[in-house]
Each structure stands twice: as structure tokens, then as C-alpha cells.
Structure 1
Amino acid sequence: MNESHQGGSATPVVIPARGSSGTGRHRVPAPPHALRGRAAVLAVAAGAAVSAASAGSALGAGGTQATESGDIALLAGGEAAPAPAAPQAPATPAVATPSQPAPVVAADDVAEDLRSTIVSTLKAGTEINTQREIAEEKARRPQIALPAVGAFTSPYGMRWGVMHAGIDIANAVGTPILAATNGTVVDSGPAQGYGNWIRIMSDDGVMTVYGHMETLDVEVGQRVYAGQKIAGMGSRGFSTGSHLHFEVLLNDGNDHIDPVVWLAQHGIGLDGSTGGGSSLS
């Protein structure tokens, strides 16, 4: 009997491992029950895909791609693909309650603009207030002031055969000497016969002269105002005692005038009173 007809044991069939593709090897067709199993898996996968598509507006393109990749993996290996990660829901803003009101946050640029506006307003208000105070101070200042307080010892006119072009007001050394007008200091220092002198040119061309001072408080070129202390009384130069020699010259310092008359024209008496007067107390 031929060996081909003998009922010996059948030669085993070797099924290569999934994914191998050796040359000359062929897969053995899967048995019918395996095909039915895969068909069932495909049906389930198809149903899942349809369900996902119907609700797919909530899923993005990434969710669709993950589903398709899962189907491909299921078809290739017969195993379910891992489910894609669910997208994270957006954070829900905190809801303000009576016990916990919503915080109010000012934008940086808005806060900076507000701060700049406040600072600018304060600066403008301060400047306006300063200018108002200066204007009020100027309004309170006298336009003409009595240059010193003391005893009226010598008038304007001829004296000892020589023209005495001013008046003398005597008082203790150091008694304040005041500017008689607003103006600019044109001289401040030693002068022949005066010991020390100060000359001030007013804005309207009146020159006032002060002599025999012990101390000087102003410098050449300095701006002064009527009633400002400019020196301390003394007895420097040709003097017989502590006093102020005071002169007034009109027309840019060219023409002398009696200081008593000039002061009276401005309503100032020698006693410092307004409205006239001729004696010192």
C-alpha cells in the first residue's frame, strides 16, 4: 500500500505570528467562526462611529481623528483602540455671592491714567494757589515806604553854607533801614562822604539814596520791594552820630526833590502815618 493512502498523522499547519511577512509564506484562511467574530466587532465599531458622528459637534477635529485611528487599529488587530482623552471643560468663573463679592480689578493702564490725572490736578492747583498768594502779597505791599523810624534831625536845603540834598533820621546803630520803593539795587558799598551807601532805581525812574549805614543787606543787581530791609543804621563817613541820610532824585536820578515833600505826595508822613505829617516820634 502506498504511503499516501495510509492513514498516518497529518502534517501540522504553522500560522505565522501576526504582522510577519516572510517571503514565500501564506496565511491560512481564518475559520468561519473567527470571521463572524470580526464582523461583530466591525459592526460594533461602526455603530460607535455613527454615534460619535451624531454627537460630534461637541468633539473637535482631534476627537474625530482619534476615533478613526481607533477603527483602523480595531480592523488591523481585532482589539479595541484606547479611548481618546475627553477634552477638558473650560473653567467656570467664580460666581459672586453676598458673602464673597466678585473682586474688582482695575486695569494697569486705567489706574496709571487716573494717577497721572490726580497728580496733574494737584500740581495745577498748587501752582494756582502759589500764584494767588504771590499776587495777594504784592497787593499788600506798599508802593512807597518810610525808609526809617527815628528823630528827624536835619531837613532838606542849605546847611553850613552847603546844599544838604537829603534829610537825616537818627536812631540807634542797627535800626532797620527799608527800601522806599520797588526797584533794583545799582550801588551797595563804600562811597566818599557817605561811609557806606545804597542806591535803588525804581521802575518809574525815581532814584533813592541811603547813607552812613553800618551794615548792608543787599547787593548790586538785586531786586527789592518797598518796605524790605536793606541795611542797618550807623555812623560811617562824615557823620556826627548814628542816623540815616536819605535822598530822592526824579527823572532817572537827575533832579533832587525834598524827601519830605515826595513822601507827603504819596500820603506818608515822617512819623510813618498815612495822609501827611511832619514830625517823628
Structure 2
Amino acid sequence: MAGRRRAQRSGDPRVPAPSRAQRPAPGPRRGPLLLTALVVGGLVAGVTGVSSASDTPTGSTSVLAAQMELATVGDDVETLPMASITVAEAEARLAEVAASRAERAAAEAAAAEAAREAARPKAVLPVDGARFTSGYGGRWGTFHYGIDLAAPMRTPEYAAMDGVVLRAGSASGFGLAVYVLHENGDVTVYGHMDSILVEPGQYVEAGETIALLGNRGQSTGPHLHFEVHQGGMNGKRIDPVPWLAARGVEV
């Protein structure tokens, strides 16, 4: 029996088992390696995400994004040429503005002067608040060719109307006197003043102070002797009261 079994085994048609040298090499161990890669990759991704989140604030990310967006939009906008004028054109414009301002200032000054001219008096009483002490006409055997207006010493005396000073200084009988020529050709005379404040050739307006009242010459007390020579220095000496009244001035 043993010899038969041994013969049967030796003659068994089964494929003989390969030798150790003929066995194929085992395949790579992919399972453990793949698991290791997944674990390491997850750790790296987690660390990177945490670092990025902590290093870049949300606000900074928004500002950066906005700046990038503006930069992108700006690149598409066309650059406009710079507008300009020449120096000569600028100087001409400055001259126009200066001329306009000067014209406006002149107009305003003219308007102010016109208002002042309209408001000021055209005729005044030569001494404000004076007492009428003597009139035009015969007096003590002589003719008195003017009127006397009494007031305290050195009271201001005014030009009765606009005019130009013809004479100013010493005068017979008056001590000191001032003669003023007016536009209508009449001359007004002021005598006995203590001091004179104008000079020949000076233009004076109605109400302008020309002297300070006094008591010089043939005088019995501080007063102004006031005369009107109709038509000029050598014209007829007329009564000053109606002459003043015709110009709205009461004595």
C-alpha cells in the first residue's frame, strides 16, 4: 500500500508548486501609505487655515478687495486733457475784474456824493442861534448897509452859500473881514470877526466855518456884521433879510 501511494503521488498529474524564487513579488502596501498621506494632508490644511484666519483680519481683506476693484475700474477710465489758458489771457481777465471793481466803486462814490449833496443845505444863517440886534437902513444919522447878529465871542461864523473866498484880512471899519463870491454873482461880506479860518481862492460850502465871531473894528460888542452886494464886489448893497428869506433862511 505504501508503495502504491508513493507511486500514485509520483505520477500525479497536478501542477507542481512553484519554487520560492519563482513566486511573484508581493504588491505595494497602499493601504497604510494612503492613510498616512490623508492624515498629514489634513493636519497641514488645518494649520494653514488657522494661520490665514489669524493673520488676515476680515476688515483688511475687505479694504484690499475694494482697492483691487478700484484699481481695476480706474484702469478702464480714459485720462482727460488738462484745461488751461495763457498767461496773457489770465492777465486780461484780471484787468477786466479790476476795471469792473473800479467802475463799481466810482458809481458807489458818485451815488454817495449825490446823496450828500442833496441832503446838505444850500443856504444858512451865518451865525447859528444869534440875536438880531440891528437891521438894514438908516441908523444914527448914517446908513447901515447890513444886519448885525450878536453871539458870544468866537462863535463859529458860516458861509451863507457856496462860493469862493475873494478877500480875507484887514478891512476899514471892520477890523477883519471876509468876502465870498457866489455862483449867482452876489458877494456876501462878514465883518468884526476875532479870527479868520479861510484864505483867498478857497472854495467853501454853505454852512462851512469861515471865521470866529469877534469885536474888532468899529463895534460895540461881539457880533457879526453881514452884508450882501448884489452882482459883485461893487454891486448894490441890498437888505440881507429878504435875500436870505428867498433862499429859505429866516433871521
**Normalising TM by the smaller chain, what interval?**
0.5 to 0.7
Task: Return closer, same or farther for 1:102/1:170 CA change in 2, 3 Å cut-off.
Answer: farther
Stretches of structure 2 that go unaligned for 5 or more consecutive residues are 1-73
Q: Secondary structure at 2:200's aligned position in 1?
A: coil
Q: Deviations over 1:229-268 (max 9, x none)?
A: 1111111111121111101121224111111121122221
Task: Quote the residue 1:116 is aligned against.
Answer: 95
The one-letter amino acid of 1:249's match is: H
Task: Quote the residue 1:232 is aligned against.
Answer: 212
**Structure 2 residue 106 is the aligned partner of structure 1 residue 130:** no
TM-score by length of 1: 0.58
Task: Return closer, same or farther for 1:95/1:212 CA change in 2, 3 Å cut-off.
Answer: farther
**Structure 2 residue 236 is the aligned partner of structure 1 residue 255:** yes
1:69-88 paired onto structure 2 within 5 Å: none
The one-letter amino acid of 2:144's match is: H
Does the aligned pair in 2 maintain the 1:96–1:102 contact within 8 Å? no
**Structure 2 residue 161 is the aligned partner of structure 1 residue 181:** yes
Give the drift of 1:172.
Answer: 1.2
**Structure 2 residue 249 is the aligned partner of structure 1 residue 268:** yes
Between 1 and 2, higher relative CO (CA 8 Å, sep ≥ 6) is seen in 2
Q: Secondary structure at 2:179's aligned position in 1?
A: strand
Match of 2:190 among 210, 223, 227: 210
TM-score by length of 2: 0.64
Stretches of structure 1 that go unaligned for 5 or more consecutive residues are 1-93, 271-281
Q: Deviations over 1:2-24 (max 9, x none)?
A: xxxxxxxxxxxxxxxxxxxxxxx
The one-letter amino acid of 2:135's match is: P
Match of 1:194 among 161, 169, 174: 174
Match of 1:172 among 139, 148, 152: 152
1:151-170 paired onto structure 2 within 5 Å: 151-170=131-150
Q: Secondary structure at 1:111's aligned position in 2?
A: helix
Does the aligned pair in 2 maintain the 1:208–1:246 contact within 8 Å? yes
Matched residues, number: 176
Counting aligned pairs with the same residue, the percent is 38
Task: Return closer, same or farther for 1:101/1:178 CA change in 2, 3 Å cut-off.
Answer: farther
Give the drift of 1:147.
Answer: 0.7
How far apart, in 2, do the equivalents of 1:96 and 1:185 lie? 84
How far apart, in 2, do the equivalents of 1:141 and 1:201 lie? 19
Task: Quote the residue 1:67 is aligned against.
Answer: none
Task: Quote the residue 1:22 is aligned against.
Answer: none
Q: Deviations over 1:20-77 (max 9, x none)?
A: xxxxxxxxxxxxxxxxxxxxxxxxxxxxxxxxxxxxxxxxxxxxxxxxxxxxxxxxxx
Give the drift of 1:163.
Answer: 0.9
How far apart, in 2, do the equivalents of 1:96 and 1:172 lie? 93
How far apart, in 1, do the equivalents of 2:75 and 2:198 lie? 74
How far apart, in 2, do the equivalents of 1:246 and 1:96 lie? 94
How far apart, in 1, do the equivalents of 2:153 and 2:82 lie? 74
Task: Return closer, same or farther for 1:125/1:261 CA change in 2, 3 Å cut-off.
Answer: same
Larger radius of gyration: 2
